[in-house]
Structure 1
Amino acid sequence: MLEVRLTTNDYMLLAVAAARAELADGAYASEVVHRHLAAEFNVVPADWREVMAQLLEHRATLAGLRGDVAAVGRLANQIAREVNSNRSRPAGDVLTRLAGRVETVLAAADEGLAELDQLTTNARTRL
């Protein structure tokens, strides 16, 4: 057990930070001390591997999404090349399919970025 004395100003800052973290004042102070000591002595938290595995798995998902974006770009380039060389507009169903593919890729990108934000937030609180 350790007793710590804080100035009124430091205690107010601690209370605000604890409220933001949704922790009791003492629990937050304990977390701050734990993180500082872990950083000071290069201690890796026990769940580090789990967090890294989640981030690496998500990275692989985003790498697949990068391939989807590239495929849509190639398709758009092919359509543009055809339009420029023949001065004709592609069939409506081609443009409709391309638009659908673009919407799918954009939705997947939004979802992937939201998941990455959540993983990052979780990693920050756990490590």
Structure 2
Amino acid sequence: MASVGSDADGASMLFTGVVRNHNQGRVVGGVRYDVYEEMATGILAQIAEEAKQLVGIDHIAVVHRVGELTVGDVSVAIAVSSPHRAEAFEACRFIIEEIKKRLPVWKKERYGDSVEEWVEGITPVGVPTSRVGRS
């Protein structure tokens, strides 16, 4: 939190999204996140900048992990510091919702029965269709 903090800020917020042990009635043992790296870094920076402009703050950090994760692992982290808590909450909510809509990242779940399946999601505008055909 020190990297996003300021002596002028009275609120610091850390949102973490974690891998849960279930989805739609199935036991989940872990996930794999794949990302379209050529776009992802720029999109995360753009989302953070939009959040800064939306709520009028300067201190935001966002990370989305890729690769293999197990239950309980942090998959996404958003750190925000602002003069007041309302702005921090608003920025975090905006960022996670925009990540879900726009970040070119795909999730494959591993279930307790040793089956793996891609989770249905949204392919962001601008992602080449060749990137969508995952293995």
- Fold conserved between structures, TM > 0.5: no
Name the structure with the higher helix share.
Answer: 1
TM-score bracket, normalised by the shorter chain, equals under 0.3
* TM-score normalised by L of structure 1: 0.28
- Larger relative contact order (C-alpha < 8 A, sep ≥ 6)? 2
Name the structure with the higher strand share.
Answer: 2
